[in-house]
Amino acid sequence: MNKRRQRFWIVIALGIALLGASGWAARKWIKAVRQRGATALLAAVPTGPRTAQPLEAAEMIYDQKLLPGWDDWGWGAHQLGNGPAKIVFQGYGGWLLHHSELAWRYGGVSFRFKAPPAFGNFLQVSLRQLGKPDDTFPLVVVGERHIAPVDGWQEVLIDWQELNPDRLPFDRVMIGSHVQVGPEWVELDRVMLTKAAASSTQQGTLRVQCGGPSRPISELIYGSSTEQWESGQSAQRLGGNPLSRSNWDLGAWNVGHDWFFENHSSGDRTMFQALDIAAEQRHKMAVVVPMLGWVAKDKVSSGFPRAKFGEQRKHDPSRPEAGDGYRADGTAIAPGDPSETSVPLSPELVKSWIQKVLAQDAARGARSIHMYILDNEPTLWNVTHRDVHPNPLSYDELLERTIKYATAIREADPAAVIAGPTEWGFTGYEYSAVDREAGVSNRPDRRAHGDKPLVAWYLKKLAEHERATGKRLLDVFDLHFYPAAEGIYDGNLVDARHQELRVRSTRALWDPEYADESWIKEKLRLIPRMKAWVSENYPGVKTSLGEWSFGAPDDISGGLATAEALGRFGQQGLDAAFHWGQLKEGTPNYWAFRAFRNFDGKGARFGDVSVATKEMPQLSLFASRDSGMTRLVLVLVNRDLTTRVDAKIELDGCGNAGSSRMFSYAADSKGLTEGSSVSNQNVVTTTVEPFSFAVVEVLLARDAVR
């Protein structure tokens, strides 16, 4: 979808409904867990005095003077200038040092101080971040284990793990007193953020099991919503909210709730022209076919015009006549007649469109539509397109519309590959819009349909329809997936905690032991769950993720999550997938696609058959082979932020490695860079840097056991 999202209010509403008054208790529990974690950490460190050691500053804060970039936000009496800072800590005084936001990657906080001996261990240190509660970061009491005598000073060093265990960004360092002390001056100097220790290295053994289970890899898992063919994308999906209201004849659509319910031109060409060009270029296309029932009548109308509905909460700055459909107090305005913006879309009109496309195909000698997708996220229609579909979608309406419009597609194109129901996320998989509006704990619509999840019921009914009529109306079971944890997709947050969570959240696609770290809190295992729904309700139907993304396309964590997802799609036997959003050249996401589709810049790709592997906890291994068993291509994803892995990859039943080459990509890379790997009989060794992905191509010296 284009403006992602109305999904926010759904998540918030669900959170309120599911958690209710438990929020206070949850916050209390989280705080208790943090305190217990800090206690455990302190119990694990030495209690004696610290041994002095040379310290290297990554960011000097105060050295005889306040350094550029830092501001004095202290409280109580203090003097700064040419020499050590002087601070009065009486009355729980302290010193607050501010900087623009800093990333988490430091070794610790260090400073030197001189204080009256009677003060004892009086100091405490913590970090702060604007907009975050003060207890977001632990409050560390300075003790013997932190202090070493150096040149007549007491030198403090507090490890970063104590100060910032969640590895969050910060903008202030606080040095204060946790007990009452006298009014005497305390001198401080050499205040710094120290450099982090060099990345650690771990030895690890992985295995490619050529004699184990294998499965074909569908080329369609490398699809995208954009036209960045240099990335190696295998297909393009024309989709999103506007396609629900797309008038193929006119070259117009309505963008719905995403932007003031306005009609717009759908581009510089009609759908027929776009498909004609794609077919000439031999690009595979998956196209959303509207079944909402209304499409744009022109390129200028809007659903809630000011002249008819008056002043609204917001108006389009460039088209002030168009309102957002809400009064100033935030209450929704009841929509007018759908004809304000739209004309009816009948199944017969859809059939005529497809017949026109097929006529173009016949004249050209190439198929243009390789998958027909039944609309877009229908359980959100009463939000995204409420100007023409204000009522929430029910189980029965979804089935009725699917049968009518899929029948029209099948009659026009007997060879069509038809996909649905394109639901948006976990709530859409399990419940109808009627259930969502009534509260999922009540779920009246689901209860009226055997209390069966919406998509499972949908599959079952379409299977029954095929048995009764002999007409197959669904070939591909298609859902959308975006991580629901706050800040991962919608927020694109890239502090260390969110980076790690973004990559970890890919486990929701496949891992039966992973409980989703969001309001969902379930072991989602989406791809196996989709396959189970198919097996139980409509055997033989294929599976697809028509939209997916893990956000942060410009950050290494987004690239790692993308590489991890692409690897899992092939490993788990998904039949199609279409990444949502840009694969802009040079970004980590772009290079993640290239790792599978053109890792050497000369067309070398991941193989056609997925091979079983044995991984490490923090290092994923995806293996593929060609049909002739002469070549292996491996993709490794190191999900650890700070540890490189010297990887020993054993080739089990694959034959001996004749030669190998390796390409890698990390946070500071400009592209996939050729590195080193060593082949020795049935073992390949290489090093994978922290938070990076790598490709290893192995040419086999002899035929393997097949």
What CATH number does residue 143 fall under? 2.60.120.430
- 157 and 289 in a single domain? The answer is no
Mean pLDDT score, 108-117: 97
Q: Please, which pLDDT band fits residue 4 given cuts at 50, 70 and 90? A: very low
d(CA 522, CA 477): 21
In a domain, 706, yes or no: no
> 87: how many CB neighbours lie within 10 A of its CB?
25
Query: What order do you get walking across the sheet with 140-141 strand by strand?
Result: 71-72, 94-102, 170-177, 123-128, 140-141
| Average pLDDT rounded to a whole number, residues 66-88 | 91
The tokens of 45 are what? 């460190």
Cα separation of 332 and 414, whole Å? 43
pLDDT greater than 50 at residue 704: no
Lowest mean pLDDT among 140-144, 199-203, 437-441, 547-551: 199-203
If asked whether residues 367 and 387 sit together in one domain, one would say yes
- Model confidence band, residue 695 (pLDDT cutoffs 50, 70, 90): very high
Asked whether the predicted pLDDT for residue 103 surpasses 90, the reply is no
Residue 166 maps to a domain: yes
Query: How many domains is the chain partitioned into structurally?
Result: 3
C-alpha torsion 497→503→504→510, nearest 10: 160
User: Tokens 């700064």 belong to which residue?
Assistant: 80
Share of the chain above pLDDT 70, in %: 92
Residue 206 sits in the same domain as residue 296: no
**What is the C-alpha separation between 519 and 486, in angstroms, rounded?**
9
**236, 181: one domain:** no
- What token pair was written down for 319? 């088209």
Residues 679 and 536 in one domain: no
Asked whether residue 63 is assigned to any structural domain, the reply reads yes
Say which range, 34-43, 175-184, 657-666, has the weakest mean pLDDT. 34-43
CATH number of the domain bearing residue 661: 2.60.40.1180
The pLDDT, as a whole number, for residue 457 is 98
Please say if the pLDDT value at position 25 is more than 70: no
Whether the upstream peptide bond of residue 421 has omega within 30° of 0, thus cis, is yes
E strand spans, 615-653: 619-625, 631-638, 643-652
Q: Residues 206, 293: one domain?
A: no
In this prediction, residue 48 has a pLDDT band, given cuts at 50, 70 and 90, of low
Residue 604 lies in a domain: no
Same domain, 384 and 404: yes
Q: What is the mean pLDDT of residues 337-352?
A: 96
Q: Is 331 inside a domain boundary? A: yes
Are residues 134 and 110 located together in one domain of the fold?
yes
Are residues 256 and 346 located together in one domain of the fold? yes
Looking at 104-113, 149-158, 240-249, which range is the least confident one? 104-113
Same domain, 171 and 204: no
Q: Provide the residue range defining the domain that includes 615.
A: 200-210+610-700
- Residues 70 and 122 reside in one and the same domain: yes
- Domain endpoint, select from 139, 161, 194: 194
Give residue 196's pLDDT. 83
Average pLDDT, integer, range 400-418: 98
Of the pLDDT bands very low, low, confident and very high (cuts 50, 70, 90), residue 1 is very low
Query: Is residue 44 in some structural domain?
Result: no
234 and 133 in a single domain? The answer is no
Q: Is residue 527 included in any domain, yes or no?
A: yes
Q: What is the pLDDT of residues 570-622, one digit of tens each?
A: 999 999 999 999 899 999 999 999 999 999 999 999 999 999 999 998 999 99
Q: Which of these three, 548, 563, 590, is where a domain ends?
A: 548
What CATH number does the domain containing 468 carry?
Answer: 3.20.20.80
Which pLDDT score is estimated for 702? 59
Is the pLDDT assigned to residue 11 strictly greater than 70?
Answer: no
Residue 290 pLDDT: 98
- Is 495 among the domain residues? no
The total of other beta-carbon atoms located within 10 Å of residue 358's CB is 17
